[in-house]
Chains A and B, each alone.
Chain A
Amino acid sequence: DVKVTQSSRYLVKRTGEKVFLECVQDMDHENMFWYRQDPGLGLRLIYFSYDVKMKEKGDIPEGYSVSREKKERFSLILESASTNQTSMYLCASSTQGQGNTEAFFGQGTRLTVV
């Protein structure tokens, strides 16, 4: 079974804390993605990576950074968490293609910043 694993299902952090969300995939996929999901806004792309150490900004990168030191792991970092970053965060991975490869998703991390 293919698997994308996110380190936590639920997380509560304080304003100003540095927060790490981890994602690991076991499918040897080149592409990895981080999204946040908010009611009425669907999934919004924060960052994506198409190779080790490569990263690209998505549509809402402000307040976030990412790290991809190994192919299987893609980390999302909130440098200084704020209450408006309270959200559901979803990680996904896919293989390289010409826009024709299915993405596999983790179960999500529900982050609350208080």
Chain B
Amino acid sequence: SQELEQSPQSLIVQEGKNLTINCTSSKTLYGLYWYKQKYGEGLIFLMMLQKGGEEKSHEKITAKLDEKKQQSSLHITASQPSHAGIYLCGAYTGTASKLTFGTGTRLQVTL
């Protein structure tokens, strides 16, 4: 089983609506990464969170890491078609060199 679980698995929202994607770990995270993937392409780095309670924003995307460092959320405000894609959370688990990812969330934004 994967150590990082994401929810929901897929999401369809109307343009302009807000949405939240969650990423949960069974272990304490020492760094949590959010990536976006356009269909059929490589992953693009969005943000990294390290400290409990940390929050970062980039344009209309905000990511938070909870105090216990076991859960992160990604929030998109006023979604646009350009936000469509697959969002993945990742973390180094086990050893400092083993980078694993969650199950991914496929986001569609309708007009």
Contact = CB atoms under 8 A, between A and B. Distances in A.
Q: Is chain B found bound to chain A in the same assembly?
A: yes
Contacts of B102: 42
A108 B42 contact: yes
Interface residues of A, number: 34
B99 A105 contact: no
A38 to B, nearest CB: 10
A99 B40 contact: no
Nearest to A51: B97
A81 interface: no
B30 A100 contact: yes
Contact of A102 (B2, B6, B48): B48
**Most A CB within 10 A of own CB, among B31, B40, B43, B90:** B43
Interface string A95-114: 01111111111111010000
B98 A43 contact: no
B99 A92 contact: yes
Contact of A108 (B40, B48, B99): B40
A45 B2 CA distance: 10
Contact of B50 (A45, A100, A105): A100
Contact of B42 (A30, A99, A105): A105
A43 B101 contact: yes
Interface in B69-111: 88, 90-92, 95-104
Interface in A11-52: 30-31, 33, 35, 40-45, 48, 50
A90 interface: yes
A90 B42 contact: yes
B42 A98 contact: no
Given A45-B98, A103-B33, A108 B41 contact: yes
B99 A48 contact: yes
B9 interface: yes
Q: Which 8 A-B pairs have the closest CB atoms?
A: A99-B30, A99-B92, A42-B103, A43-B101, A105-B42, A50-B97, A42-B104, A105-B43
Interface of B: 2, 6, 9, 30-31, 33, 35, 40-45, 48, 50, 88, 90-92, 95-104
